[in-house]
Amino acid sequence: MYIFPRRAVNPYLRGAGSPAVHTRPDATRGRRGLLGVVAQQRRREAAVGRRGGLPLLALLLLAPLALAQDAPSQPASFLVYRPWPDAAGDPLASALAPPPFDAPRLPATRVDRAAAASPAPENAPQSAPAHYREMLRLVQAAAVEGAGVGLVVRGSVAPGTLGVQVETRALANAPEGVELALVLFEHGVVVAGRTEPYVARFALDPVRVSVPGNASQQLRLDPAWDLDRVGVVALALVDGRVVQSATWLPRQDAPTVQLVRAPLVEHVTASWCSPCGPADEALILLATQRGPAGPLPALGEGSYLRAPTGWLWAGLALGAAGAVALARGGRP
């Protein structure tokens, strides 16, 4: 008895669009010949599966890494006010700028000196993600507004002084009555093992400026400050509200050209404020994602790659499981 009659088509060797392959009627090859054909076809399918599974395997392994990478988005400027140093030896005690608004309760966060973040967002004051979402919501709402004013900021650091030159540019729907303010900050101050970003050291009162126009200022620096960490935030204000901001980073070579809307985030906190911890963490994350690109001492040199999280490890485990499944599925 033959497995296939004369001129019968072997279904194991028929492919989509391929011609029929016929068997030779040889009784001595019967079942053994059929098993050989099946084994050969399975080996071919396994080889195709392994080649076709490589893109899927790469996707499974690289997807969690892509999730950990935050793409740069709408810029923003950041200032942190810590007006109550812990002790005389605290590096923040040398000089600190007072907050530009009343903060009867900490933490206190304002965007553009107009919108106030809730100190207990989503009824979860101890939740850093809730604080982050609240701050992000305010920044996104401010970012959709037109700037009206562009700022070009140049800085030069010399022993004991910081020279700042600011050029104002008129954009679409440029407002009238623009005032310019400067806030000097020290970025990456380490206090009790904790890095403090964008600590406001000194602020100049707003002055009326022309748009377009130019302004310059020489700021005196405290010898205790680290010159490699000193920068400045330039603010354009109308009736006390910030309409544009631009950050010149420590030791930045090129000028900062800010023509798109950059909201200002100001945060008031204190080391002894236990409820401030989650909001401080949220601010650092937001500043890492939306802060100005460039050299950021003690905060990862401007990298947007976060430290590994539970989601990252879970994604890697899923990718490894997928790789094992593909490898097993490809065996003959």
pLDDT digits (tens, 9 = 90+) for 75-111: 899 999 998 888 877 888 888 999 999 988 899 999 9
Output the pLDDT for position 101: 93
pLDDT above 60: residue 257: yes
The model's confidence at residue 27, banded by pLDDT at 50, 70 and 90, is: very low
The structural domains of the chain, with segments of one domain joined by +, span: 11-67+311-329, 77-290
pLDDT above 80: residue 274: yes
Output the pLDDT for position 276: 92
Stretch 70-74: mean pLDDT, rounded?
A: 43
Per-residue tokens: 253: 């070579």
pLDDT above 60: residue 260: yes
Q: Which residues pair with 246 in a beta bridge?
A: 234
Lowest-confidence region among 29-38, 240-249, 297-306: 297-306
pLDDT above 70: residue 12: no
Interatomic CA distance for residues 124 and 128, integer angstroms:
9
Interatomic CA distance for residues 80 and 262, integer angstroms:
17
Per-residue tokens: 321: 């499981």
The strands making up 161-170's β-sheet, listed across from edge to edge, are: 213-220, 161-170, 149-158, 256-258
Stretch 175-194: mean pLDDT, rounded?
A: 90
pLDDT tens digits, 198-210:
999 999 999 999 9
Per-residue tokens: 218: 């020489």
What's the CATH number for 77-290?
A: 2.60.40.10
**For the whole model, what pTM was predicted?**
0.69
Q: Which residue has the higher pLDDT, 309 or 189?
A: 189
Q: Which residue has the higher pLDDT, 30 or 195?
A: 195
pLDDT above 50: residue 228: yes
pLDDT tens digits, 144-157:
988 899 999 999 98
Per-residue tokens: 140: 């996104």
The model's confidence at residue 3, banded by pLDDT at 50, 70 and 90, is: very low
Q: Compute CA 257 distance to the chain's CA centroid, rounded to the nearest angstrom.
A: 20
pLDDT above 60: residue 325: yes
The model's confidence at residue 328, banded by pLDDT at 50, 70 and 90, is: low
pLDDT above 60: residue 133: yes
pLDDT above 70: residue 313: no
Per-residue tokens: 71: 């793409």
Output the pLDDT for position 296: 53
pLDDT above 50: residue 327: yes
Task: Please state, rounded to an integer, the average pLDDT across all residues of the chain.
Answer: 77
